[in-house]
Chains A and B, each alone.
Chain A
Amino acid sequence: MKIRTKEDYIKSLKDQKVVIYYNGELVEDRTAFPAFIPHINSAAKTYELALLPENEDLLTATSNVTGKKINRFTHIHQSVDDLIKKVQMLRLIAHETASCFQRCVGFDAMNSLYMTTYEIDEKHKTKYFERFVEYLKKIQEENFMLVGGMTDPKGDRSKRPSQQADPDLFTRVVEKRKDGIVVRGAKAHQTGAVNSHEIMIMPTQAMGEGDEAYAIVAAIPLDAKGVTLIFGRQTNDERKFECGIDAGNCEFGMVGGEALVVLEDVFVPWERVFMCGEIDFTGMLVERFATLHRQNYGGCKGGVSDIVIGASALAAQYQGTLDASHIKDKLVEMLHLAETVYSGSIACSAMGSKTKSGAYYPDPLLANCTKHNITRVIYDISRLAHDIGGGIMATLPFDKDLRSPVVGKYVKKYMKGVEGVSTETRMKIVRLLENMTGGTALVESMHGAGSPQSQRIMYQRLGKLGQKMKMAKKIAKIDE
C-alpha cells in the first residue's frame, strides 16, 4: 500500500506482524503498545507534515528516478539545495516532536547506497545500482519506513570480524544460494526499528581480507522469518504509560526508540542484495553513511534545542527569574549554541558536492565537525537548562500527588511560582525539561551517528594537517 497519512502508516504497521520483545514479553500489537506509541507519533510527523501546504516545500521532493512528487525521506539529493532542505526539514520536524523522529537513518542509508553501488558496479561490473534503483522506486512509491542498520554488536573491539570468538558478533552471510543469501548476526541501537517496515543492513566498518562474508548490504522486511526485535530501555520509560505530566513529553518519544535487531538465519533474495563480498567498498559506504548522518545533527538537535531553550525561558518566567541578567545571559548562550550546531549542518550541506552517481554529498569534514560539536553542545545546553530550571527538576512530586485529594493542596501551594501561572503549568514545563535534558537523551547525543572518537579519526584523515604545517612554515619564512 502507499502510505500517505498517519492513519495509513499505523495501519501498515498493524498489518505487518513483527516479532518484538519489550521487557521480556512478546508485544502482540506494536501500534497499541504504550511504550511504542510515542515513537510512532514522532515518525508519523514525517508523513503528516508532508501533506500540509505550509511544510510541503521541505517535506516533499521530485524523484530523480520517476519524476513523481515523493516524501523527502525517500529522496536522493540532487543538489546543494536538497542537502540544505534536508537540514531545514529536520529542524522543522524537531519543533513538532521535541524528539527524534527516526526516519533520517533509512534516508541516509538510501543516499549512501545510491552513490556507492554506482561505483561498485563501475569497478566490479556488478548490477547492484540497477537493483538498488528498483528498490528505491518501491520505497518512493510505497513510502514505507526503512531502518538504517549499520551498527553491529562488535564483541571484542580489538579484533576483526573474522577473528571474533563468536563469528556472529558482526552480521555475516552464512550461506549463498542460487536464489539468495542467508544472513546471521544482529544490529544494535536500531533507531525506529519497532515502528519501521524494513531494515537495510550494511557493514559496520571497513572490512579487510578474510572479512568478505561481513561485507554485506541487504534490505530485509522486519517480518521476515528469523528477525526478532528487542526494545531498549530508556530513562523513565514507564512514565509514558501514565500519559500524564510526569512523562514530560507524553505524545512523542524521548529518543528514537532503539532496539536490538537479531537476524537468525534470515533468507534474502538476490534482488534485495546490494553488496556481497566487495570489501574494497565497505570503507567508502561506512564513511558516506556516517557523513550523511552526521550532517543531520545540527538540524534535528538544533530543533530539539529550540524547545529546550523555550522551556528554560518559561521555567524562569514561571518562577520570576526571567528578567534576571544572569538568566538572560544563560539563555543567550543557549541560543548561541543551538545556532552554532545548526550552522554546522548548513555549512556542510552548502559545501556539498556531486558524486559520480549524480547524487549530492555533504562536505565530510564539516559534517563530522557538526556531529562532534553535538557530543559537547547538547550537554552544555542541558547543563544551562538545569541551571535555569533549578533543583525542582530533580525533586518535583508526582503528577498523582498534585491530583491527590489529601496532599494535592500542598503541592499546589508549595510548588507554585509567580501569580497567574498555575502549579500544574509550572510542573508541565519542568517535567518537559527533565525529559529532554537527562539520561538517554544525552547519551544519544554522544553516540548517535558515531561516538566522538569516530569523528576525531576523520579529522586526522581529512584535516589537511600537512598543508597547515606548510602554510605555517611559509609565514615563518622557514625553508628547511
Chain B
Amino acid sequence: MRRRRAGDGLAVDKRNLTNGAETGIKKVALKYCGGCNPGFDRVAYVESVKSAAGPVIEWVALDDEGFDTVLLICGCETACPRRSLDFSRYRQSVSIKNDKVSPRDLVKILLESEEANED
C-alpha cells in the first residue's frame, strides 16, 4: 500500500517497508537540498534528529544500499531535490521544509513500521 500525508512542511510518501525488521535498527538515507538560502539551520536540525533517534537509526547516504527510507531536508518550500531526484525508487520518503516538526516526532515517523501503516 502507499500513503501520503502532509502538513507543517512535512511530506511522507510510504510504500511497503521491510528494512530493519530483523535487527531493530533502521537504515535511513539522509539527503539535503543544496542550501542556497535556507530558512532554518538544516545541519543543526539534523543533529537534533540524530540525537533524538539515538542508536535505533543508522544514517546512510543515498549512494549507499540497504535502506528503505529517505529523509530529505529542504531549506525552503521549493524543495529542489524533489524536482530532480526520483523518490519513487524508495519505499518511504519523508521530506522536511522547515523545523516545525519536532525531532522526536520526526523520528517516530521515520520508525513507523509496515504494520502500523496497514490501517
Q: Within residues 294 to 350 of chain A, which ones have a CB less than 8 A from any CB in chain B? A: 303, 306
Q: Are A55 and B34 within 8 A (Cβ)?
A: yes
C-alpha spacing A92/B83, complex, angstroms = 19
Q: Is B21 an interface residue (CB 8 A)?
A: no
Min CB distance B45 to A, Å, is: 10
**Which of B30, B34, B42, B43 has most chain A Cβ within 10 Å?**
B34
A57 engages B30 (CB within 8 Å): no
Q: Contacts A81-B83, A81-B84, A88-B80: A53 and B34 contacting too (C-beta < 8 A)?
A: no
CB-CB under 8 A from A89, the residues of chain B are 34, 36
Docked pose: A138 CA to B80 CA in angstroms: 30
Q: Does A91 have its Cβ within 8 Å of any Cβ on chain B? A: yes
Question: Nearest Cβ in chain B — how far from A190, in angstroms?
Answer: 27
Q: Which residues of B contact A113 (CB under 8 A)?
A: none
Query: CB of A54 within 8 A of chain B?
Result: yes
Residues of A78-133 at the interface with B, using a CB-CB cut-off of 8 Å, are: 81, 85, 87-89, 91-92, 95
Q: Is B61 touching A58 in the complex (CB atoms < 8 A)?
A: no
Contact B34 A59 (CB under 8 A): yes
C-alpha spacing A85/B80, complex, angstroms: 9
Partner of A57 from B33, B37, B43, B46 at Cβ < 8 Å = B33
A56 to B80, CA, bound (A): 13
Are A92 and B36 in contact, with the CB atoms below 8 A? yes
Q: Is there an interface contact between B30 and A58, defined as CB atoms closer than 8 Å?
A: no
Q: Closest residue of chain B to A91, judged by CB?
A: B36
Q: Which residues of B contact A53 (CB under 8 A)?
A: 30-32, 61
Q: Contacts of A91 on B, CB cut-off 8 Å?
A: 36-37
A 40-55 binary contact with B (CB < 8 Å = 1; else 0): 0000000000000111
B61 touches A57 (CB 8 A): no
Q: Are B35 and A92 in contact (CB under 8 A)?
A: yes
| Chain A residues, Cβ within 8 Å of B61 | 53
B81 at the interface (CB under 8 A from A): yes
The answer for the CA separation of A167 and B60 in the assembled complex, in Å, is 60
Q: Check B83 against A57 for contact (C-beta < 8 Å).
A: no
Contact A54 B43 (CB under 8 A): yes
From residue B71, how far is it (CB to closest CB) to chain A in Å? 12
Return the contact of B32 from the options A55, A85, A88, A303 (Cβ within 8 A). Answer: A55
* Interface residues in B25-78 (C-beta closer than 8 Å to A): 30-37, 42-43, 46, 61, 73
Q: Which residue of B lies closest to A92 (CB)?
A: B36
Nearest chain-A residue to B62 (Cβ)?
A: A53
Q: Which residue of the partner chain, among B30, B34, B84, contacts A92 with CB atoms under 8 Å?
A: B34
Q: Is the CB of A54 within 8 A of B36?
A: no
Within 8 A of A (CB), among B66-110: 73, 80-81, 83-84
Asked whether A58 and B43 contact (CB < 8 A) given A81-B83, A81-B84, the answer is: no
CA distance A54 to B41 in the complex (A): 10
Kindly list chain B residues whose C-beta atoms are within 8 Å of the C-beta of A85.
Answer: 34, 80
Give the shortest distance, in Å, between B46 (CB) and chain A (any CB): 8
Instruction: Write the chain A residue with the least CB distance to B75.
Output: A54
* Cross-chain contact B32 with A54 (CB below 8 angstroms): yes
Do residues B80 and A54 form an inter-chain contact, with CB atoms below 8 A? no
Q: Which residue of B lies closest to A306 (CB)?
A: B37
CB <8 Å contact, A92 and B37: yes
Contact B34 A88 (CB under 8 A): yes
A306 to B35, CA, bound (A): 14
Q: Report the bound CA distance from A303 to B35 in whole Å.
A: 12
Least CB separation from A79: chain B residue: B84
Q: Which chain A residue has the least Cβ–Cβ distance from B32?
A: A54
Q: Which residues of B contact A306 (CB under 8 A)?
A: 37
Nearest Cβ in chain B — how far from A295, in angstroms?
15
Q: Is A58's CB under 8 angstroms from B37's CB? A: no
Q: Which residue of B lies closest to A82 (CB)?
A: B84
Is A58's CB under 8 angstroms from B83's CB? no
Complex: A422 Cα to B32 Cα, angstroms: 37
Residue of B nearest to A302 (CB): B37
Residues in A with CB closer than 8 Å to B31 are: 53, 57
The answer to whether A54 and B42 touch across the interface, beta carbons within 8 angstroms, is: yes
A198 to B31, CA, bound (A): 34
Q: Is the CB of A55 within 8 A of B37?
A: no
Kindly report which residue of chain B lies nearest to residue A88, judged by CB atoms. B36
Contacts of A92 in B (CB 8 A): 34-37
CA gap between A57 and B84 in the complex, in Å: 10
Complex contact B42–A57 (CB within 8 A)? no
Q: Which 10 A-B pairs have the closest CB atoms?
A: A58-B34, A88-B36, A57-B34, A54-B32, A92-B36, A91-B36, A54-B43, A55-B35, A54-B35, A92-B35
28 A–B contacts, CB within 8 A, in A order = A53-B30, A53-B31, A53-B32, A53-B61, A54-B32, A54-B42, A54-B43, A54-B73, A55-B32, A55-B35, A56-B32, A56-B34, A57-B33, A57-B34, A57-B80, A57-B81, A58-B35, A59-B34, A81-B83, A81-B84, A88-B34, A88-B37, A92-B34, A92-B35, A92-B36, A95-B37, A303-B37, A306-B37
Q: Interface of B with A (CB < 8 Å)?
A: 30-37, 42-43, 46, 61, 73, 80-81, 83-84
- Other 8 A-B pairs with CB < 8 A, given A56-B34, A58-B36: A53-B31, A54-B32, A54-B43, A57-B34, A57-B80, A58-B35, A88-B36, A88-B37
